[in-house]
Structure 1
Amino acid sequence: MTSSDTVSARLQFDAAIAAATTAEAAFGALQELARQIVGAKLFTVMEVDMEAEVARRSYTSDPESYPASGTKPIRYDRWFDIVHKERQLFVANTIEDISTVFPDYELIDSLGCQSVVNLPVVLAGELVGTVNMLDVEHHYAPERVEAIKREISIPAKLALLIAQRA
């Protein structure tokens, strides 16, 4: 992606997020930004309630396979340590690596996704959610991971804030 493409993607996100009045619109703008900047065959947003120890999928690009409904219990594992405790991106670039932390790895694989990045979203010192991008094997190479940190992290915070307000 050229710097001109990145600027264009940022400007499109800015216009879309400024007009967003619903969580769906805010997360849709974020999804489009992620698609343009790093690519994502599957894009979801999970919101976290640590008091209740549950996570809720609040946005999905594939409502048939991953509906935005219900909650699931927080699992305390290696993924939790990386994303929740250390507040670092979780990156896995093969389905084998994904299978060590996600019990639904077969569904993920069936969707043509063998790599994942989970971006923690922290507001006011609290982890409030994750932005999850999945694509083909080895898609999230170091340069794409850096682009996520540089180009998606702050917009993700804004999208979550708008979603919480909507």
Structure 2
Amino acid sequence: MEALSRAAAGLAAAGQPHTGLAALDAALAEAVGHRLFTVLVLDATRGVSRRAYSSRPEAYPILGEKPLRRETEFHRLVVEEGRPRFCRDRADIIRAFPDHALILSLGCEGAVNLPIRWDGQTLGALNLLHGAGHYDEAQMPVLSVFAAVAVAPVLRILADAP
């Protein structure tokens, strides 16, 4: 609860949406841990996604938009079905991520992609990466609360989008 309280305080502070996302980063690091944390924002109307936050911008900078890849497991599970995607080991990372060499070089062999949902739609995803086997379904009660907390900054990002 302390980590969640700090995340809430970050969302109440000035400087949104970055302040809120940085507070989520710190709170998630404390609550469940991560070696890399990013926030992906989807613009389904325009068919694009963009990285809106990165805990390691030197490796994963905030970049421009990319087309949504609708044929992927990520799109089916996270975007369409609103369910998390777990990558439990190195083989899952290699299968799931085109940039797996960079991910593996950061010591990340496990991941979870959590949908950020509002009003029946997926607005984006919280992406947490760590060692193999670090994430599983038992963490979903706490992770789902953090994904819900992320709705406000993601709505702000979408509202400010061109």
1:104: which partner in 2?
99
1:145 deviates by 3.5
Calculate the aligned-residue CA RMSD, in Å: 1.7
1:38: which partner in 2?
32
* Unmatched segments (≥5 aa) in structure 2: none
1:10 to 4, 7, 19: 4
2:59 to 59, 65, 68: 65
The answer on whether the counterparts of 2:89 and 2:133 sit within 8 Å (CA) in structure 1 is yes
1:74 deviates by 1.2
1:111 deviates by 0.4
The answer on whether the counterparts of 1:91 and 1:140 sit within 8 Å (CA) in structure 2 is yes
2:111: which partner in 1?
116
Counterparts of 1:28 and 1:165, CA distance in 2: 19
1:14 deviates by 2.0
Distance 1:31 1:84, change over 3 A: same
Runs of 4+ more than 6 Å apart: none
Indicate the SS of the match to 2:154.
Answer: helix
TM-score normalised by length of structure 2: 0.89
- Output one character per residue of 1:24-47: Cα deviation in whole Å (capped at 9) or x when no partner: 111101111211111111000011
Amino acid at match of 2:25: Q
The answer on whether the counterparts of 1:44 and 1:132 sit within 8 Å (CA) in structure 2 is yes
Tell me the number of residue pairs that the alignment of Structure 1 and Structure 2 aligns: 159
Q: Which moved more, 1:131-140 or 1:46-55?
A: 46-55
Counterparts of 2:16 and 2:152, CA distance in 1: 13
Counterparts of 1:118 and 1:93, CA distance in 2: 12
TM-score normalised by length of structure 1: 0.87
Counterparts of 1:49 and 1:122, CA distance in 2: 13
Distance 1:20 1:77, change over 3 A: same
Q: How does 1:46-61 map to 2 (within 5 A)?
A: 46-61=40-55
Counterparts of 1:12 and 1:157, CA distance in 2: 16
Counterparts of 1:20 and 1:165, CA distance in 2: 17
- Output one character per residue of 1:37-77: Cα deviation in whole Å (capped at 9) or x when no partner: 11111000011112222110010011111110211121122
Indicate the percent of aligned positions where both proteins have the same amino acid. Answer: 33
Indicate the SS of the match to 2:96.
Answer: coil
* Unmatched segments (≥5 aa) in structure 1: 1-6
